[in-house]
Amino acid sequence: DVKVTQSSRYLVKRTGEKVFLECVQDMDHENMFWYRQDPGLGLRLIYFSYDVKMKEKGDIPEGYSVSREKKERFSLILESASTNQTSMYLCAIQLAGVEDTQYFGPGTRLTVL
Amino acid sequence: AQKVTQAQTEISVVEKEDVTLDCVYETRDTTYYLFWYKQPPSGELVFLIRRNSFDEQNEISGRYSWNFQKSTSSFNFTITASQVVDSAVYFCALMGGSYIPTFGRGTSLIVHP
């Protein structure tokens, strides 16, 4: 079974705080993704990574950065959290191969006060 | 550019009714994949099905069935004899040559007892 874990299910932070969201996978997959999900907007891609120390911007990278020092861990960083970053954050991994499918972690509901 | 449209924002049915969730897509890729995911209230996106563009056979899995029609660029999802546990947000997604999926905005299905 594919297993993707995220460090917290619920998180409450204050405006201006630095926030780390972590995603860990146990299947040695190379491709990892961070999305945010907002009502009526679906999933929007923030950043993704194809390998250690590699990162690519998605559709909405502003206000976020990422870190991938080890293959199994992909961190999303909010350098200075703002209220408009209150959202559901979803991490996904992608199986390598011809037919790729994304598998998701349980999500982190972040509230920025 | 890829696009996925789920025109139904919310559907409300009574248990045991059949319900169809619509998904229309746009892509210039000749090879692509289509997906359906289920997001129950707990938040985690659960992979349901993947279809590639060369396989237009309809698929049935228990009470779930999928109708893929390239002629109309649609990949619709039908739940037969709906149950309360089917209540969730359902996402349709499209993945082309970039292997970066594009998600629809989701359809919220509410099944009343």
pLDDT digits (tens, 9 = 90+) for B40-99: 988 889 999 999 898 888 888 899 999 999 999 999 999 999 999 999 999 999 998 888
Find the closest chain B residue to A89 by CA distance.
B43
Among A93-107, B71-85, B95-109, the minimum mean pLDDT is found in: A93-107
Distance of CA B59 to the CA centre of its chain: 12
DSSP 3-state of A75:
strand
Amino acid present at B41: P
Query: Is the pLDDT score of A98 beyond 60?
Result: no
Interface residues on B facing A, Cβ-Cβ cutoff 8 A = 9, 33, 35, 37, 42-47, 50, 52, 91, 93, 95, 99-101, 103-106
Q: Does A6 touch chain B (CB under 8 A)?
A: no
Estimate to the nearest angstrom the gap between the alpha carbon of A104 and the chain centroid. 10
Residue type at B45 in one-letter notation: L
Q: Is A3 within 8 Å of A106 (Cβ atoms)?
A: no
Separation in Å, CA of B46 to nearest CA in chain A: 7
pLDDT for A20-65, tens place per residue? Answer: 999 999 877 778 999 999 988 889 999 999 888 889 999 999 999 9
Surface-to-core class of residue B21, CB atoms within 10 Å of its CB (0-12 exposed, 13-18 middle, 19+ buried)? buried
A106 touches chain B (CB under 8 A): yes
Interchain contact A1–B (C-beta under 8 A): no
